A and B are shown apart, each in its own frame.
Chain A
Amino acid sequence: MRIGKDLVAAAATPVVLGILADGESYGYAILQRIADLSGGELQWSDGMLYPLLHRLERLGQVESEWRQSDAGRPRKHYRLSAAGAAALAEQRRQWTVVGDVLGKVWPHDGGPRANLALGMA
C-alpha cells in the first residue's frame, strides 16, 4: 500500500515536528526514522524534506545549526523551538479530532485489520 500524495503532504509537517520533539536531528536521520516508523509506507522524495525544514525554520518552529558529522562532513542539525512545540500541540489536537471522526464513521468490523485483530483474539 502506498499512501496518497495529498495525505503524505498533510502528514509531513506533524510527523517531522513530532520526530524533532524527541530531540534534535538532521535530514537523513529524520527520513530513516520515518521509514522505520511507517514500515516504508509513508514515503516521499528524500530531497523534498529540506524545503519543508526550511519553511519550518522560517516560521520559527525549528532552529538549525551546522555541525560536523562523524565522517567529518558538514551537517545541518534541526531542533524544535518553543513555537514549534506549540504548533505540534495544535497539529496534534487537529489530527486527534480527525482520527476520532474516522474511527466513528468507519464501522469497526469493516476493515481487514479489525478482522485480523478479532481473529487473533
Chain B
Amino acid sequence: MATEQPGAEASGTDVTGTHANGIDTTGIDALVASWRTWIEQRDAIAPADVDELEGHLRDQVDDLLGRGLSDDEAFLVAVKRLGRVDDLAREYAREHSERLWKQLVLGDGSPSGAAVGSGAGTGRRRAAGLAVALGLGVAAGLAVKLPELFGVDAPRDLSFYLRNAALLVLPFLAAYFAWRRRLDAVPIAVVAGGFAVFAIALNAYPFDPDVSSLAATELLAAIHSIVALWLIVGVAYTGGDWRRDASRMDFVRFSGEWFVYYLLLALGGGALSALTIGVFASIGVDVSWFVFEWVLPCGAAGAVLVAAWLVEAKQRVIENIAPVLTKVFTPLMTAMMLALIVAALVQWNLVDVSRDLLIAFDVVLVVVVALLVYSISARDPLQAPGWFDRLQVLMLASALVVDVIVLIAMLGRTGEFGFSPNKTASLGLNLILAANLVWALRLQVGFVRGRLPFAAVERWQTAYLPVYLAWAAFVALAFPPLFGFA
C-alpha cells in the first residue's frame, strides 16, 4: 500500500454509492478507493471479486471503528487481515486460471507493472525466454537437415522424413518447456523415455522399403506418432503436474493458440518465400532451390518453437483467438450437420458409402470435439448456462446422429472390405470420439438443466486426454506389427 498515490481517483467506488461527484467525502472512502485501484491491477481478481472483497473490508472497518479505532488504524488492520495482495492474487489465479493463464505459465501471479521478486531467477528466465526459444528453434531447423549428412536424401527418402518429422522437431519443444518449468528428473525421464520408444520403434520396424508407394501402417504410424508425441510434450508443458485438471486445460489452451500462431507464421513465411523467389527471378537469379531445400524445412521446424514462445509471451497482444473461432464456427458447423441429416433422409443414399467417408467423418468429429473443448477452455465456469451452451447440445446431438448413420452404414459393409489398417484406425478413432461425445452430451444436458456444475463438463474433457494418447500410441506402435508392416 505504501507505493499507492493517496490522491488516486477511484473509478470503482460508485459501487458504494457514497459519493456522487467524484470528490472523496471521508477518509475511509478515499482509502478504500485507492485500495481498489491497487487491487484491480491484478488480472486474476475480477471486478465482481473486488466488490466482494471491498464489502468484506468495509464490514471489518465498521467493526473496528465500533471498537474505537481511528479511520486510518481500522483501515490498516482490515487491509492487513485480508492478506498480502500477491498471495491473494495467486490464490485467485489458482482457482480462475482461465482469467490469466499466461501469468500462470510465466510462473508468477503478479502483473507486469508490479512484478515482485518472489523468485530471483523468474525475471531473468522470462527475459531469456526468447533467446532460448530462438536458439532451440535454430537447433530444430538444423536437426531437420542433419540426416542428409548421413546419406538420407530428402526427395527420395520421403518416408524417412514422414516417420521422423515429430521426432526431429518436438524434442526441442519439450526441452524448451523443461528449461522453462525447471522440470524435475522424473517428468524429464517420462518425456525422454516416450520419445526414445517412438524413435526406436518407428525406425527399427521393417516397413516395406519400396519408395514408390508408402505402406499404410507406416503412414498411420507417422501421423499418430505426431499426436502421441505432442501429448507427451504436454507432460513437459505442465511442468510434470499433468494429473491436475487445470494444468491439462492449460495445455489444451496452449495447443489451440499454438496452432493459430503456427498457421499465421506459415502463411507469412510462405508469402515471403514466394515473394523472394519472384523478385530474384525477375533479375534472372534462381533461388528456388535454396528456398525449398533450406528455408522451408528449417523455417517450418523453427516456427514450432517461435510459435510456442509467442503463445507464452504475447498473450496480451492478441486476445485468445481459438475460443473466438469456436464461437463463430459452432453455429455454422451445427447448421452444416443439420442440413446433412436432412439431405441424408431425403436422398437416403448415405448407405452407399465410399471408403473415404469414414475418414471424412473422423474429421467432422475431431472438429466438433475441438469446437467443444475450446469453448469450454475459455468459458467462465461460474456463468449460468446460456444460449451458446444450448447450441452446443444441438451440435453434439446432430454430430452423433450423423455419426450413427455413418457407422451403421460402414459396419454393414465391413464384410465386403475386411479390416484393413486404414479402416481399423479410422473406425477406432470414430468410436473413441463418439464415446467422448455421447458422455459430453449427457453432461452438457445436465449442465444446461442446472443439475450438474460446469466443472463436471470440463473435467470430462481433461480426463479424456490420456485416451487419445493411448490410442495414438497403440496405432503408431502396435499396428505395424499387427498388420505385418503392410
Cβ proximity bits B92-107 to A, threshold 8 Å, 1 near / 0 not:
1011100000000000
Residues 27-62 of B at the A interface (beta carbon under 8 Å): 49, 51-53, 55-56, 58-60, 62
**Is there an interface contact between A73 and B92, defined as CB atoms closer than 8 Å?**
no
A28 contacts across to B, CB distance below 8 A: 55-56, 59-60
Stretch touching chain B among A16-24, A43-51, A93-101, A103-111: A43-51
**Is there an interface contact between B92 and A60, defined as CB atoms closer than 8 Å?**
no
Picked from A47, A58, A60, A76, the residue with its CB within 8 Å of the CB of B55 is: A76
B95 contacts across to A, CB distance below 8 A: 51, 54-55, 58
Residues 60-86 of B at the A interface (beta carbon under 8 Å): 60, 62, 81-84
The 9 closest A-B pairs by CB, nearest first: A45-B83, A60-B453, A47-B82, A28-B59, A51-B91, A47-B88, A47-B83, A51-B95, A58-B381
CA of A44 to CA of B456 in the docked complex: distance in angstroms? 29
18 A-B Cβ contacts within 8 A? A28-B55, A28-B59, A28-B60, A44-B83, A45-B81, A46-B81, A47-B83, A50-B52, A50-B56, A50-B92, A51-B92, A51-B96, A60-B455, A60-B456, A71-B62, A73-B55, A73-B58, A74-B55
A69 contacts across to B, CB distance below 8 A: 55, 59
- With A47-B88, A73-B15 already in contact, 20 other A-B pairs whose C-beta atoms are closer than 8 Å: A27-B52, A28-B59, A44-B83, A45-B82, A46-B81, A47-B53, A47-B82, A48-B88, A50-B52, A51-B96, A54-B49, A57-B382, A58-B381, A59-B455, A60-B452, A72-B17, A73-B16, A73-B58, A74-B51, A76-B52
CA of A69 to CA of B60 in the docked complex: distance in angstroms? 14
> Chain B residue with minimal CB distance to A81?
B453
Of A47, A51, A57, A58, most B-chain CB atoms within 10 Å: A47
B55 contacts across to A, CB distance below 8 A: 26-28, 69, 73-76
A71 contacts across to B, CB distance below 8 A: 58, 62
**Is there an interface contact between A54 and B382, defined as CB atoms closer than 8 Å?**
yes
CA of A60 to CA of B53 in the docked complex: distance in angstroms? 22
> Chain B residue with minimal CB distance to A82?
B451
B residues at A contact (CB < 8 Å): 15-17, 49, 51-53, 55-56, 58-60, 62, 81-84, 87-88, 91-92, 94-96, 381-382, 452-456
> How many interface residues does chain A have, given as a range?
20 to 34
Contacts A46-B60, A48-B83 given; does A58 touch B91 at CB 8 Å = no
> Chain B residue with minimal CB distance to A50?
B52
Q: In the complex, how many angstroms separate the beta carbon of A46 from the nearest chain B beta carbon?
A: 5
Of A28, A44, A57, A72, most B-chain CB atoms within 10 Å: A28
Residues 25-56 of A at the B interface (beta carbon under 8 Å): 26-28, 44-48, 50-51, 54-55
Q: Is chain B's binding surface mostly helix, strand, loop or mixed?
A: helix
CA of A60 to CA of B17 in the docked complex: distance in angstroms? 32
Picked from A27, A46, A47, A83, the residue with its CB within 8 Å of the CB of B453 is: A83
Q: In the complex, how many angstroms separate the beta carbon of B61 from the nearest chain A beta carbon?
A: 11
CA of A69 to CA of B56 in the docked complex: distance in angstroms? 11
A27 contacts across to B, CB distance below 8 A: 52, 55-56
Q: In the complex, how many angstroms separate the beta carbon of A80 from the nearest chain B beta carbon?
A: 14
**Is there an interface contact between A51 and B94, defined as CB atoms closer than 8 Å?**
yes
> Chain A residue with minimal CB distance to B91?
A51
Q: In the complex, how many angstroms separate the beta carbon of A6 from the nearest chain B beta carbon?
A: 15
> Chain B residue with minimal CB distance to A60?
B453
Picked from A26, A48, A72, A75, the residue with its CB within 8 Å of the CB of B91 is: A48
A54 contacts across to B, CB distance below 8 A: 49, 92, 95-96, 382
A83 contacts across to B, CB distance below 8 A: 453
CA of A71 to CA of B51 in the docked complex: distance in angstroms? 14
Contacts A58-B455, A59-B453, A72-B17 given; does A46 touch B58 at CB 8 Å = no
**Is there an interface contact between A58 and B454, defined as CB atoms closer than 8 Å?**
yes
B58 contacts across to A, CB distance below 8 A: 71, 73
Q: In the complex, how many angstroms separate the beta carbon of B23 from the nearest chain A beta carbon?
A: 20
A59 contacts across to B, CB distance below 8 A: 453, 455
CA of A82 to CA of B55 in the docked complex: distance in angstroms? 27
CA of A54 to CA of B382 in the docked complex: distance in angstroms? 8
B82 contacts across to A, CB distance below 8 A: 45-47
B16 contacts across to A, CB distance below 8 A: 73
Q: In the complex, how many angstroms separate the beta carbon of A15 from the nearest chain B beta carbon?
A: 17
Contacts A50-B53, A51-B91, A69-B55 given; does A58 touch B83 at CB 8 Å = no
Residues 59-99 of A at the B interface (beta carbon under 8 Å): 59-60, 69, 71-76, 83
Contacts A59-B455, A73-B16 given; does A45 touch B60 at CB 8 Å = no
Q: In the complex, how many angstroms separate the beta carbon of B448 from the nearest chain A beta carbon?
A: 14
